[in-house]
Copies of this chain bind each other. A is one copy, B any other.
Amino acid sequence: MAGNRAVTFMGPRKVEVKSYDYPKLVGPKGQKCEHGVIVKLVATNICGSDLHIYRGRFPAPSGTILGHENTGEVVEVGSHVEFIKKGDLVSVPFNVSCGKCRNCKEGHTDTCMNANDEMDCAAYGFNLGGWQGGQAEYMMVPWADFQLLAFPDKDQAMEKIRDLTLLSDILPTGFHGCYTAGVRPGSTVYIAGAGPVGRCAAASAHLLGASAIIVGDSNQERLALVKKAGYQTVDTSKLDPVADQIEAILGVREVDAGVDAVGWECHGQGPDAPEEPTAVLNTLFQVVRANGGMGIPGIYARGDPEARNEAEKQGKYALAIGQAWIKSPHLTAGQCPVMHYHRELMMAILQDRMPYLTPLLNTQFISLDEVPEAYRKFDAGAPVKYVIDPHGSIKTAA
């Protein structure tokens, strides 16, 4: 039987491809997972969240196999599995969820109560429950019947794999940001961040029928992708306040909805602005109109070792709630429950309703050996979505 090569976090800014045994139907604490399957990875993406770990800002043990954006073929099926079959091409939601606890039953697979002993939240390749990641040749996925989204037609899926690989995390995550912010037909929306999640949020806003879609970032190459897709941009490397830049576009200083696609590692405004963890949220409090919503899929951490002060080390950030209160704002933070959205988004992709996704994402397929270099480039702001093709399956299909 084959072994397994996998991208391994070895410490801040250090990832290596290491060799492991082929995975077993066994969980992080050695428990049997006969409800699980082994997936042969076809496409496994590098995510902005991986960079939090890569930079040492989101503590994870050395030796963690990274990768929570996984798509692949089922090659082994546990004895308790009823419906998923060997050979299925599946999208694996990044959240690990049992399908049997109160939260899962209520649709909140982002906060499964059974997949992580330490808290009600689990994910692959993260420090959340110990489930190994999928930036690898193979991975184990528990509770397969509940969790996996099987594509209806494998050939069709391989043709659209460039877009479908986004279903495991960032497309639903961007969508969740828009959805919880209340984006609907006709909405004007400001999305902070033109990284892959921000660009997926822009595509989601488009699918949701938004009118003006405005994306802010200081990275000019990423902004260029946004403009090319027909959306509008705010350049946060300029000193002009975001509200001024929005006014220049819309004629008014506020939008209906705001999405934070950055998180706490964001920067203040202007050229070479330093990190300023409250910059995005406090900007949203300003530029989202009365009764508007904010979706916050961008991560806010507690326990960042590089936080500026004691309050931020404890996860407390100076938010402008006193400025915004009179505007009756509402906000939703946290991880996306991928299962809530992935089937619908798959349907939109399969029926060709998101032609804007491919150019916006600017996906580049790489081999496992190219991964360490890709982390470096992505960390430096490359306007690219890196997708690993560990077995060359996509290359072959193309």
Q: In the complex, what residue of chain B is closest to A176 when comparing beta carbons?
A: B328
Q: Does A211 contact B (CB under 8 A)?
A: yes
A110-B328 contact given A186-B347, A317-B321, A318-B318, CB 8 Å threshold = yes
Contacts of A324 in B (CB 8 A): 315, 333
The reply to whether B108 and A328 contact each other, CB–CB distance below 8 Å, is yes
Q: Does A208 contact B (CB under 8 A)?
A: yes
For window 96-110 of A, CB contacts with B under 8 Å fall at: 98-103, 105-108, 110
The reply to whether B282 and A322 contact each other, CB–CB distance below 8 Å, is no
Q: Does A251 contact B (CB under 8 A)?
A: yes
Contact for A332 among B316, B323, B330, CB less than 8 A? B330
Contacts of A301 in B (CB 8 A): 322, 325
Q: Does A124 contact B (CB under 8 A)?
A: no
Bound-complex Cα distance A281 to B335 (A):
21
Contact for A80 among B35, B106, B316, B320, CB less than 8 A? B35
Bound-complex Cα distance A316 to B327 (A):
15
Bound-complex Cα distance A332 to B80 (A):
36
Q: Does A185 contact B (CB under 8 A)?
A: yes
For window 319-368 of A, CB contacts with B under 8 Å fall at: 319-335, 337, 339, 341, 343-348, 350-351, 353
Bound-complex Cα distance A299 to B82 (A):
32
Q: Does A188 contact B (CB under 8 A)?
A: yes
- Describe A's contact surface by its main secondary structure: loop
Interface residues on A, range: 35 or more
Q: How far is the CB of A188 from chain B (nearest CB, A)?
A: 7
Pick the interface stretch among A66-74, A114-122, A370-378, A387-395.
A114-122
Q: Does A180 contact B (CB under 8 A)?
A: yes
Contacts of A330 in B (CB 8 A): 180, 330-333
Q: In the complex, what residue of chain B is closest to A350 when comparing beta carbons?
A: B211
Q: Does A212 contact B (CB under 8 A)?
A: yes
Q: Does A154 contact B (CB under 8 A)?
A: no
Q: Does A290 contact B (CB under 8 A)?
A: yes
The reply to whether A320 and B315 contact each other, CB–CB distance below 8 Å, is yes
**Which residues of A pack against B, CB within 8 Å?**
34-35, 80, 82-83, 98-103, 105-108, 110-111, 114, 119-121, 145-146, 152, 175, 180, 184-188, 206-212, 251, 264, 278, 281-282, 290-291, 296, 299-302, 304, 311-312, 314-335, 337, 339, 341, 343-348, 350-351, 353
Contacts of A99 in B (CB 8 A): 99-100, 105, 146
The number of times this chain is found in the oligomer is 4
The reply to whether A331 and B334 contact each other, CB–CB distance below 8 Å, is no
Contacts of A278 in B (CB 8 A): 316
The reply to whether A100 and B300 contact each other, CB–CB distance below 8 Å, is no
Contact for A353 among B108, B209, B315, B317, CB less than 8 A? B209
The reply to whether A321 and B344 contact each other, CB–CB distance below 8 Å, is no
A318-B311 contact given A209-B208, A344-B184, CB 8 Å threshold = yes
The reply to whether B106 and A291 contact each other, CB–CB distance below 8 Å, is yes
Q: How far is the CB of A305 from chain B (nearest CB, A)?
A: 13
Q: How far is the CB of A193 from chain B (nearest CB, A)?
A: 16
Contacts of A299 in B (CB 8 A): 325
Chain B CB within 10 Å, residue with most, of A119, A302, A315, A332: A315
Q: In the complex, what residue of chain B is closest to A309 when comparing beta carbons?
A: B318
Contacts of A323 in B (CB 8 A): 302, 314-316
Contacts of A209 in B (CB 8 A): 207-209, 348, 353
**Inter-chain pairs besides A212-B347, A301-B325, A317-B322, 5 sampled, C-beta below 8 Å:** A120-B290, A210-B353, A282-B316, A316-B323, A328-B332
Contacts of A111 in B (CB 8 A): 290-291, 327-328
